[in-house]
Amino acid sequence: MQNPLTPEVLADPVALTRALVDIESVSLNEKAITDCVEEVLRGVPHLRTYRHSNTVMARTELGRAQRVVLAGHLDTVPLNGNFPSTMRGDLMYGCGTSDMKSGVAFALHLAVSLPDPRYDVTYLFYEAEEIESRFNGLTLVGESHPEWLEADFAVLLEPTYGIVEAGCQGTMRAIVSTHGERAHAARSWHGVNAIHGAGEVLRRLGAYEARRVTIEGCDYREGLNATGIHGGVAGNVIPDLCEIEINYRYAPDRDPAGAEAHLREVFAGFDFRVTDAAAGAAPGLDNPAAQEFLAAVGAAPIGKLGWTDVARFAAMGIPALNFGPGDPNLAHHKDEHVELTKIRDGAATLHRWLASA
């Protein structure tokens, strides 16, 4: 297909957002959009551009004292009757408008239009953020080209509605099990009902008081919840096993080991096993580039309630923040949309930060 990312489109972050949205790129189907982005970047003389699978990296090499990363994922969740994009007044509707092609548009617009930034800049456009970690472009690049990710500071262009969201929460999923003994339902006293035993687990969850933690001035509200319950053998059998799925969102002052130790205390006396865990990321606001970025935004940051790929940068010792024009509450919705003023204002903010002397 003819590349829709023309020079005229690249010059306007709003038009660029719409053009990106109108290239379907559901996770694992990013080749078309990656081809378009790569073609644009390879034509920019002040950038060196490389590709791995459906992830593209372009970087300046100006000999600056610091290097910053602007990173955004190219994939979206599955379409839901919201493709291609539509316009309604100051709103652009479509899959990926908020999460996060409007953020990607920031990075691609700046990559093309800003040949002499105050820092050296690495632009990362990566695949498969919306699905399992093993497919994630940052995971794959970290394994094959870790030098692509080296920097002093990173901005992940996730939807934040134009507010800086610092760091991110850690997340842990676990199974709490209760056990019993099978029996015929007509003679239930000969058995022990494992589903009934789950009542104590649910009581502890209902009584749980989640922490609120302030780190570097950013508030993180934790959450511990049951997200599923499974049990039962047949309609006439007393069940001998019940499993309660638990999701724990914890502040970045805890690591996965600390989070697991806390949950084992909460569910003492029950079988407990962790099924998935990801560390959070501290705010990292004392970094000089982060301070200059906050000054350009002109508003106080808040803590990120959720997990994002800033944690991958934090694990490498690179402070990272979330900043994008989309509303995170609209991500993955059928009526996902973004405000055009947020796109324009956010692009101006990033330009002011990178171009200022």
Q: Mind telling me the catalytic residues?
A: 75, 129
Name the residue among 344, 333, 294, 321 with its Cα closest to residue 98.
Answer: 333
Confidence of residue 357 (pLDDT cuts 50, 70, 90): low
CB 155 within 8 A of CB 167: no
Instruction: Tell me the C-alpha distance between 92 and 224, whole Å.
Output: 35
Res 262: pLDDT: 98
Confidence of residue 126 (pLDDT cuts 50, 70, 90): very high
**CA quadruple 303, 306, 308, 312: dihedral sign:** positive
Res 1: pLDDT: 72
Please give the average per-residue pLDDT across 241-253, as a whole number: 97
Res 253: pLDDT: 96
- Res. 73: pLDDT tops 90: yes
CATH class of 7-168+281-355: alpha beta
Instruction: Tell me the C-alpha distance between 51 and 141, whole Å.
Output: 10
Instruction: Tell me the C-alpha distance between 344 and 324, whole Å.
Output: 11
Sequence ranges of the chain with CATH classification 3.40.630.10:
7-168+281-355
- Res. 83: pLDDT tops 70: yes
Q: Report which secondary-structure segment, H or E, holds 277.
A: strand 271-278
Res 133: pLDDT: 87
Residue of higher predicted confidence among 119 and 356: 119
CATH architecture, range 170-278: 2-Layer Sandwich (3.30)
- Res. 114: pLDDT tops 90: yes
Helices 102-113 and 13-21: angle between axes, nearest 10 degrees: 130
Sequence ranges of the chain with CATH classification 3.30.70.360:
170-278
Classify the phi-psi angles of 201: left when phi > 0, otherwise alpha if psi is within -120 to 50, otherwise beta.
alpha
Q: Give per-residue pLDDT as tens, 15-59.
A: 999 999 999 999 999 999 999 999 999 999 999 999 999 999 999
- Res. 356: pLDDT tops 70: no
Res 80: pLDDT: 95
CB 99 within 8 A of CB 35: no
Q: Give per-residue pLDDT as tens, 281-339.
A: 999 899 899 999 999 999 999 999 999 999 999 999 999 999 999 999 999 999 999 99
Q: Is 190 exposed, middle or buried (0-12, 13-18, 19+ CB in 10 A)?
A: exposed
Average of per-residue pLDDT values in the chain: 96
| Long-range contacts, stretch 83-86, CB < 8 angstroms, 24+ apart | 83/21, 83/22, 83/24, 84/21, 84/22, 85/18, 85/21, 85/22
